[in-house]
Amino acid sequence: MSGTTTFDLIIIGAGPGGYVAAIRAAQLGMKVVVIEKRATPGGVCLNEGCIPSKALLDSSELFALARDKFSLHGINIDAPRLELDVMMRRKDDVVKKLTDGIDYLFKKNGIVRFNGFALLKGRDSAGLHQVQVKQSSEEPLPASVTLTAPMVIVATGSEATGLPGIPFDGRSVVSAREALAFDTVPEHLIVAGGGFIGLELGSVWLRLGTQVTVIEMLPQILPNMDRQAADAIYRSLRKQGIQFKLGTRITGVHQNALNATVLFDSGTGIEEIDCDKVLVAVGRRPLTAGFGFEELGVKLDKGKVAVDADYQTSVSGIYAIGDLVPGPMLAHKASEEGVACVERMMGQHSVVEYEYIPGVVYTWPEGASVGQTEEQLKESGTEYRTGRFNFAALGRARCMDETEGFVKILANAETDRILGVHIVGPRASDLIAEAATVMSFCGTVRDIALMCHAHPTLSEAIREAALDVHKEAIHV
């Protein structure tokens, strides 16, 4: 394909926002092209984030279960031996099957995909947006490819943020990308940042035999989570063996041929700690540079792209979704925005209910939440009631030998409407869907309490917590 080709919609980025938007647009009858710099679709989430990390979390959890818990179930085996290369190949195979699946969906829906770098070039004489595709290193393209369309969605995602003065080197100071592909188990891993990414990857390597130390500048981990839930995860991870240095700032990293020395300050002066690897997981920033935003006049607000209710930027016909725009940097949020953006282009009145987007940290026990935290309700002066049920009192959790954690429900004191649900425990990531569903229909704790939950299941904990809001729980 060379010269200029016209489409109904150009999408820049094939991550969970871009590829989902492309499929929905094609379903609605649009002629769609997607430009992706990677050789494979799926973005950070599928290639070096959500999916490979969960593959390793599951593999490492099975390894830890075989090592530490099988004997409790009367299963006696020799000590398991780790074959890290096999574990990594399995992870890569999971990723490949899913990226191949997206390619299949593109072909099924008639979506064209270019492997290259996109640059917005303004409008042509017909008023269409022009996007130039530059050659990618993975797959050569004709010298000049220009695509045109009346509408462009930019879904370029985000990148890892480094520590000031401590650049990533891919060897000693690494991002999640490298931490998902270590070829040997580190002896000591320092994790900079006590958020979702750092705790998940720290958990992987802890289970596989690494000493893990988390250094967090704030006085607590998971700062945006309900405090009771975050504190429960903190206590559990400490019991598992992760060491924490909270309220501590990393001031430097000295590297040599074999390892690294991390300099940190917890308020009493500079101290040192030696390690093999430093995983920097202090946050992510939107990828807004290099696409022609400034030249076209696309407005940014605090580093993110400013958009209206239709996800349209300050330049008519150019839209942005996902990590580029305000809101949590979550794959499922980007996908929801991709669908809503395309449907609104077609005249539908689709909306993303941001207050009901669940968040999950895939440690073990898992942590999941939707809605407001108790701290937010107190700060806003909202009158509320609390219900709580511990997994230790649940038959299914006892059978699984997974009794850590609880379900906590926050409800409006006057209307009984559910304002927030916070779960720490086994399969919290799956259980939170019930809470999000009921909340999206403006449900109350009575609605959950009146639903019959199968016995014995983990979901019974949600019903008991709902009953506990009015002190009617049966098994408390």
- Is residue 225 within 8 Å of residue 367, measured between CB atoms? yes
Asked if omega into 150 is within 30° of 0 (cis), the reply is no
Q: Which residues pair with 277 in a beta bridge?
A: 189
Cβ count within 10 A of residue 58:
15
DSSP code per residue over 328-359? ---HHHHHHHHHHHHHHHTT------GGG--E
**Is 470 annotated in the active site?**
no
Q: What is the DSSP string of 102-117?
A: HHHHHHHTT-EEEEEE
Could you say which of 254, 332, 422, 455 is catalytic?
455
- Please return the burial class of 82, using the count of CB atoms within 10 Å of its CB with bins 0-12, 13-18 and 19+: middle
Cα separation of 20 and 259, whole Å?
42
- Buried b / exposed e along 399-430 (16+ C-beta atoms within 10 A): eeebebbbbbbbbbeeebbbbbbbbbbbbbbe
Which of helix, strand or coil describes residue 462? helix
CA–CA dist 224, 193 (Å, integer):
13
Q: Determine how β-strand 366-371 pairs with β-strand 418-425.
A: antiparallel
Alpha carbon of 451 to those of 156, 416, 460: distances in Å?
42, 16, 10
> Can you tell me whether residue 283 is helix, strand or coil?
coil
Whole-angstrom CA distances from 172 to 176, 185, 203, 242, 278 are 12, 13, 19, 20, 6
Active site residues: 455
